[in-house]
Amino acid sequence: MNNKIKSKKTTGFMKSNYIRAFLKKYKFNYLLGVISLIVVDIAQTRVPIIVGSVIDQIESKNFHMTLISSVIIKLVSISIAIYIGRIAWRFFIFGTGRSIEKDIRNDMFLHLEKMSSRYFQDNTPGEIMAYMTNDLEAVRMVLGPGILFLIDVLAMGTITLYSMIVQIDPLLTLAGVVPLLLIAVSVRIMGRENRKRFRNKQEAFAELSKFVQEQLTGIKVIKSFVQEEKTIDAFERNVKRTYEKNMHLIKIQSLMHPFMQFISGLALAVAIGYGGYITIKQRITLGDFTAFIQYLSMLVWPMVATGMTINIFASGAASLERVESILNEPVEIKDSENLSNIDTLLGSIEVKNLNYKYPNTENQVLKNINFKIEKGQTLGIIGRTGSGKTTLVTLLLRLFDVDKNTVFINGEDLLNIPLKLLRENIGYVPQDNFLFSDTIKNNIDFGVRKGEMDKIIEAAKDSVVHENIIDFKDGYETVVGERGVVLSGGQKQRISIARALIKNPEILILDDSVSAVDTDTEEKILKHLNEKRKGKTNIIIAHRISTIQNSDKIIVLDDGKIVESGTHKELVHKKGLYHSIYEKQLLEKMLEEQK
């Protein structure tokens, strides 16, 4: 199963229930916008009739000064109505487009926050960013300009045609309009191609974003392996592809507009020929004739706007699909139906016959895992790299889901524990120690957000990083990663530990969290843990025996299986894998000391 965001067949923008709900929510704004727009359109289409009547009166020598002032008053009133109406529709229609854009963006982020780790493995941040910017913009274009053009095309087209047919001459209207219909037909045909090319362009753009995001994240690796040139080549290929897709789209769009202008010129020629003829024959007046020419040029805009509207709607439909594919992505990890009603979580953990494969993979990462620890005990986990240590603890946090009846916390099936309760009661120090580009203070306070400085300092002291922090010029206010403040691996690890400790969680999980600190500092941290975590459960993953030797229970993982378990003493006696790791590390230590 491939879970990547994909474009399917476009189903049409207005058919989407999601969009309809927004249209309903903002119906009064749209209604006011549409009314203002129609007022503007009616006002505009009055002008040719007024000008026509002036011409007729001049021709019949009936024209006198009192008429001039009434014409001026009419024209000025029309201008004022158009002026106010245009401000109003801009505000109501464009403004509403922006409001909906804001709502959708919030919806998308909210939904993304619920997605599982699996989802973010399949969809990279770069791609998701492209959907949240480029595609959302295309959707907004429909909700603002798209809807405006659509209404304008319909209102302006209808009113103009009505004036031409009823007030001037039906046959002449037919002669002028038939060529213009060619515009609508050709636009319809080209619109399909346009939509396809637009979708390709957006996909190429998403690829490009993904590429840039990844390369910039890995810039240090690129530089240290002197791969800049190769990376630049690959970037250029990516840019070229996006450029080609863009050009492909522009080609069809640039064909459309001049074609429309050509056709409208043709229509004008027909109208002048036939209209001139019937004016000479006095079937219509000179005023009618000039009014008709003006109307005909007024019809060109609705025809052109038809093309633009179709483009906007086509692009919007393709983009909406991608936006909705994010919104409709099911939440994989959520509270179960038969949720337990516990409201506190105690840290006893039992794992029974746990087997695990990552989603969409074949590799059995954990094999028949069984162990039990009581509340207040410390579990040490050791094992070769890739043996499944991190996997085991991320499963406890439900970052990925296990089968029913395999993991129990507090005697409850893990899957039935309210997700919020579970995660609030676990303090997790991930192996990669991610910190946000915020102050050290806020990074430590991240899980509690109370801003209690004494607690923050206490946590930092317990994780033996306080002394480092106060050495920075801005102390706890130092912003991580800014203005040259780059934290060392060990500092990051200890800030991550402080972030977990400040929660005073029932279960604390340290995933290889002291690997980058020296053994003296490690000893201090472990001593603090021993004092502060009395009665609470700890899981400590390590590669060094020294980190876990005092644990109540130690399990040794190898290739996804528990190969040994017991206390340090028991395991050393067993002379198995644990013993051989122990011997090796003792030897290393001795050699180290001899230096």
Report the residue number, 358 or 371, with the smaller CB distance to ligand ATP: 358
Alpha helices in 218-227 (DSSP H): 219-224
Alpha-carbon span 492 to 105, nearest angstrom: 32
SS3 229: helix
Report the residue number, 168 or 581, with the smaller CB distance to Mg ion: 581
Report the residue number, 235 or 358, with the smaller CB distance to ligand ATP: 358
Structure tokens that stand for 52 in this block: 């026509």
Least separation in angstroms between CB 130 and ligand ATP: 23
Look-up of token digits 């109003």: 88
Least separation in angstroms between CB 522 and ligand ATP: 17
Least separation in angstroms between CB 10 and ligand ATP: 33
Structure tokens that stand for 259 in this block: 């074609």
CB atoms under 10 Å from CB of 238, counted, come to: 19
Q: Which parts of this chain interact with ligand ATP (CB under 6 A)?
A: 121, 358, 361, 365, 383, 385-391, 431, 512
Please, which residues have CB within 8 angstroms of residue 50's CB and are 6 or more apart in sequence? Answer: 71, 74, 75, 78
SS3 226: coil
Look-up of token digits 């969290």: 513
Least separation in angstroms between CB 537 and ligand ATP: 20
Nearest CA to 228 out of 239, 243, 218, 213 is that of 218
Least separation in angstroms between CB 546 and ligand ATP: 16
Least separation in angstroms between CB 139 and ligand ATP: 32
Binding mask 416-455 for Mg ion (x = CB under 5 A): ---------------x------------------------
Report the residue number, 367 or 461, with the smaller CB distance to ligand ATP: 367
Report the residue number, 243 or 358, with the smaller CB distance to ligand ATP: 358
Report the residue number, 107 or 559, with the smaller CB distance to ligand ATP: 559
Binding mask 363-402 for Mg ion (x = CB under 5 A): --------------------------xx------------
Report the residue number, 390 or 443, with the smaller CB distance to ligand ATP: 390
Question: In what helix (H) or strand (E) does residue 317 lie, and over which residues does it extend?
Answer: helix 286-327
Residue 388 interface partner, choices ligand ATP, Mg ion, none, CB cut-off 5-8 Å depending on type: ligand ATP
Structure tokens that stand for 144 in this block: 């603002």
Least separation in angstroms between CB 391 and Mg ion: 8
**Is 301 buried (19+), middle (13-18) or exposed (0-12) by CB count in 10 A?**
middle
Alpha-carbon span 195 to 249, nearest angstrom: 9
Residue 361 interface partner, choices Mg ion, ligand ATP, none, CB cut-off 5-8 Å depending on type: ligand ATP
Least separation in angstroms between CB 353 and ligand ATP: 18
CA atoms within 13 A on the CB side of 591: 6
Report the residue number, 16 or 390, with the smaller CB distance to Mg ion: 390
Residue 391 interface partner, choices ligand ATP, Mg ion, none, CB cut-off 5-8 Å depending on type: ligand ATP
Report the residue number, 319 or 387, with the smaller CB distance to ligand ATP: 387
Report the residue number, 292 or 400, with the smaller CB distance to ligand ATP: 400
Alpha-carbon span 141 to 322, nearest angstrom: 15
Least separation in angstroms between CB 588 and ligand ATP: 18
Report the residue number, 282 or 361, with the smaller CB distance to ligand ATP: 361
Least separation in angstroms between CB 362 and Mg ion: 20
DSSP letter, residue 536: S
CA-based torsion, 157, 160, 161, 162: positive or negative: positive
Alpha-carbon span 379 to 547, nearest angstrom: 11
Residue 364 interface partner, choices ligand ATP, Mg ion, none, CB cut-off 5-8 Å depending on type: none
Residue 519 interface partner, choices ligand ATP, Mg ion, none, CB cut-off 5-8 Å depending on type: none
Look-up of token digits 């009395």: 534
DSSP letter, residue 478: P
Least separation in angstroms between CB 214 and ligand ATP: 17
Residue 103 · residue 22 · CB < 8 Å: yes
Q: What is the DSSP string of 410-446?
A: TTEEGGGS-HHHHHHTEEEE-TT----SSBHHHHHGG
Which strand ranges, in their side-by-side order, compose the sheet holding 426-429? Answer: 426-429, 507-511, 537-542, 378-383, 553-558, 561-566
Positions that interact with Mg ion (CB under 5 A): 389-390, 431
